[in-house]
Structure 1
Amino acid sequence: MTRSHARHLPSLAAGSSDLEAAALLRSVAEFYHANFKQSPEALAYLASRGLNHPELIEHFQLGYANKTLTYRLPAGHTQAGRQVRQHLQDLGVLRSTGHEHLNGCLVVPVLGLEDGAQPEQSGRVIVVVN
């Protein structure tokens, strides 16, 4: 298994603010971005679309969701782990099953939102053709 150098995601306490939620979503986007740069299949997908430019990946902070997000969270049997998973579900990152909504997708964070706007992410399924 390849070890990721992405940082661990922060946990949020109950009643967290919109700023904390935005920080959590930014952490998720950073995690997905680090995954993208280490994923041969994600890089191959961009190349197959004629979009294999490192500047593009960095400028748009492209990411890749590949079922590894929950490995970076506190253990699910702990209070902190349950809380952060619930917050990620509330934000639409995780399903009620604990799986990532955008699993297998190229993730594009919506950047440049005005102050106070909720950050968003969009995904496109990566289909690997051999």
Structure 2
Amino acid sequence: MSEDRSLFGDGRYPEAGPLAVLARLSLLGAGLAIVVAKFLPPELVPDFVRSPNLQHFAAFYVLALCALAAMPRARLRTVAVGVAGFATVLEALHLLSGAPLGPLTDNWVADLGGVSAAFAPLIVERFRRRFPRG
């Protein structure tokens, strides 16, 4: 039998396949977009939603999804800690630049909420797989 190389099959997908490369590029792009948005003056950053906390949540949700797609063999915990560490370092750097602590804490919690929301379905699915069907 031939190996299933379709996009949604169970077979292996090539390391250098177009979607694998796109996943890595999207991780790089999302990470760079967050860094640029973090250090630009607030008036230059477009508001995608009304709440800054929701923007942080959405940005790190997307970043976590991109990281999961870009690193399919990495352990979930490793990817989650990496993305959460990235959020922590960014907020700490912003704090060192003189930003007030209160809003940065809110931003950091929203960042971690986005990361958690991206990982929650995967963790629940792993739990569900432990209960075989009849």
Normalising by the residue count of structure 2, what TM-score does the alignment of the two structures yield?
Answer: 0.35
Which structure carries more helix by proportion?
2
State the TM-score, normalized to the length of structure 1.
0.36
* Larger proportion of strand: 1
Higher gyration radius (CA): 2
